[in-house]
Amino acid sequence: MDAHITDALGRPDLVRLDDGLVCLRFESMKVVSALAAVRHLLDTGRVRPGDTLLDSSSGIYAHALALACHRYGLRCHIVGSTTVDDTLRAQLAVLGAHLEQMPSSASLTLDQNRRVARIHEILRDNPGHHWMRQYHDDIHCLGYRAVADRIAGELGNGPLTLVGGVGSGASTGALATYLVADTGHRYADTVFARHRDAPPIDTLAPTPVSTVDDLAHPWSRMDWARAPAPNA
């Protein structure tokens, strides 16, 4: 029996859609991520019961973080997007979370910039608050280890291709990290037999670029900073 509703919400279903095709269905995305992240913060002493956890959200993560805070006895402060609707506002209120919602704006980019600016104002005035940084702190990947173990346990050790959408990248990226790779011994006579042809490892660093016009082979790296997509 589950001790808290978050256990049920965070446990995904594996649904077989066809031969070789399985769907991983979450009742509510990011609950498993928020739970593990908050539990890790408590276990490592970075936060204590009664502390306030703070983050910006357009909706789904706000609900997940509020649930995790409710479970572990923490306060939750959400700087919400203008897109937060009445249903989510009610859910957050029931869970005891404090919501600051941004006013309507001309674009979602402006909305996000306002939220980040507000986060910094709150931290300035409340240095004891803990900013969860859902887009930057890899503790949000921890909860997907158990999900990956379940996938591997039910599907076995055969070939597996992971297909998923990427927002912040935590869900799909974490599953890919914790699952599919073998030891490589099967490639000893093919790929690894040509190791002398491989370029020196110190030549494999990406080319740093500042705009898409500077992109270069074989690969490049840019500080995205969540900038809008370039014009087509």
Beta pairing partners, 13? 25
| Position 232 in a domain | no
50 within domain boundaries? yes
Give CA–CA dist 132/106, Å, rounded. 27
User: Which residue type is seen at 99?
Assistant: L
In this predicted model, what pLDDT tens digit does every residue of 20-40 receive, in sequence order? 899 988 888 789 999 999 999
Rounded CA separation 143/121 (Å): 30
Q: Decide if 133 is inside a domain.
A: yes
Answer yes or no: is 93 within a domain. Answer: yes
Q: How many domains does the chain have?
A: 1
Q: Is residue 25 part of a domain?
A: yes
Assess if residue 136 is contained within a domain: yes
Domain coverage including residue 47: 1-195
Contact 179, 148 (CB under 8 A): yes
18 lies in some domain:
yes
Give the mean model confidence (pLDDT) for residues 140-159: 87
Model confidence pLDDT, tens digit, residues 174-219: 888 888 776 666 667 777 788 888 888 878 888 899 888 888 888 8
Instruction: Quote the Cα angle for 6-86-166, to 5°.
Output: 55
